[in-house]
Amino acid sequence: MTKILGKTGLESWLHNIMQERALVAPKHVGDLILFDPVQSVDEVVFDYENTNLSPKEFFFPRTDTLFTTKSQDNDVELIPTIIDQETVIFGIRPCDARGIAMLDGPYLDDPADSLWAQHRNKTTMIGLSCTKPAPQCFCTSVGSAPNDSSSVDIMLTEVDDGYAVEAVTEKGERLLQGVELKESDVTLSAPSCDTSVPAEGIVETVKKVFDSPYWSRLADRCIHCNVCAYVCPTCYCFDIRDRTDKGKIERIRTWESCQSKGFTRIAGGHDPRADKGSRLRQRFCHKLLYFPQQFGPLSCVGCGRCVVSCPVNIDIREIISDLQELGAKVG
């Protein structure tokens, strides 16, 4: 039996959620669709392919204060950031949710990152499975599916008279308490997504082609902006710096990317990844080799954002194919 929540039922549920918690949902911002806090259900966009930016920023904000300082009587106290706000993210896609769950690997590994842990604890993810994957999507090729509910708290699937509801976690069940659901015997269709990206065995392949001139040829075209990293739900590199403002001192963390020139520059001016080819290789090796070696899955969830956003068409799907071809030749 499937449990169904009608469209009006969904709206009033979201409205109720908003009373006590912050609700984040896909919303029109200019001509983009972004995850953004919404003040009313009217703002929520229900029909969209994928947002322009990933929802990772509600767990790993573009700018975060790690701590502030307070000085008194020659003593300096460090005040860590505490997150009180309970947040619900509505309409998160399975791929994005998977990306966030994946980052528990690096961020919750001992010693756990306190901010990430707090964001994870305070946030409930209501997933919305994809009924029509976009042409750039390839989640099925990298071990997921358009209806993969493994990383969300509640999974919704659009059906004729509303949404099929599945409470995945305890957190999800709590949020659904008191919500009236109809029983129905509707069977949910399983939409398919691009399965043609040959990601299987890519870890071994990347090791073989690590020294290939392929990378520097590919880097010819790359302009080394940070777009791919910033739209990516699984890119999690950052920069940290202290900031003073009128006597207030804080340590801040912001997004950074291995594609930017100064990212690996060290004291004395040496940069171990000074050329474009090694920087580009770093991005793909991290996704397809180092991350899987450390944490298991490929660090790509197939959302296709980098494919669409790259100004010069550096396409990870094409790169995976090229590498496999290259690897087969190397033997």
Partner 1 sequence: MGEDFTQQIRDKAKELLENGAVECVIGYETGSDGVSARPAFIYDAAEVDRLAFDNTCTHNLVKYLLDKKGKSTAVVVKGCDSRALNLLLSERQIQRDKVYVIGVVCPGVVEWGWNKRSEQLQKRCNWCRQHTPVVSDFAVGEPITEEPPAEFADVAEMATKTAEDRATFWRDQAERCIRCYACRQACPGCYCIDCFVELLDPEWVGIRIAPDENWMWNTIRAYHLGGRCISCNECERVCPVNIPLSLLNRKLEQEVLDLFDYKAGMSEDAPAPLITFKKDENLGIAE
Interacting residue ranges for partner 1, rule: CB under 8 A:
29-32, 52-53, 62-63, 135-136, 217, 220-221, 223-227, 229-231, 239, 241, 243, 252, 254-255, 257, 260-262, 276, 307-313, 315, 317-318
- Minimum CB distance to partner 1 smaller for 8 or for 313: 313
- Minimum CB distance to partner 1 smaller for 38 or for 53: 53
Nearest-approach distance from CB 293 to partner 1, in angstroms: 27
- Minimum CB distance to partner 1 smaller for 134 or for 181: 134
Tell me the three-class secondary structure of the chain, residue by residue.
Answer: CEEEECHHHHHHHHHHHHHHCEEEEEEEECCEEEEEECCCHHHECCCCCCCCCCHHHHCCCCEEEEEEEEEECCEEEEEECCCCCCEEEEEECHHHHHHHHHCHHHHHCCCCCHHHHHHHHHEEEEEECCCCCCCCCCHHHHCCCCCCCCCCCEEEEEECCEEEEEECCHHHHHHHCCCCCEEECCCCCCCCCCCCCCCCCHHHHHHHCCCCCHHHHHHHHCCCCCHHHHHCCCCCCEEEEEEEECCEEEEEEEECCCCCCCCCCCCCCCCCCCCHHHHHHHHHHHHHHHHHHHHCCCCCCCCCHHHHHCCCCCCHHHHHHHHHHHHHHHC
Nearest-approach distance from CB 255 to partner 1, in angstroms: 6
Nearest-approach distance from CB 127 to partner 1, in angstroms: 24
- Minimum CB distance to partner 1 smaller for 44 or for 232: 232
- Minimum CB distance to partner 1 smaller for 107 or for 138: 138
Nearest-approach distance from CB 63 to partner 1, in angstroms: 5
Nearest-approach distance from CB 114 to partner 1, in angstroms: 20
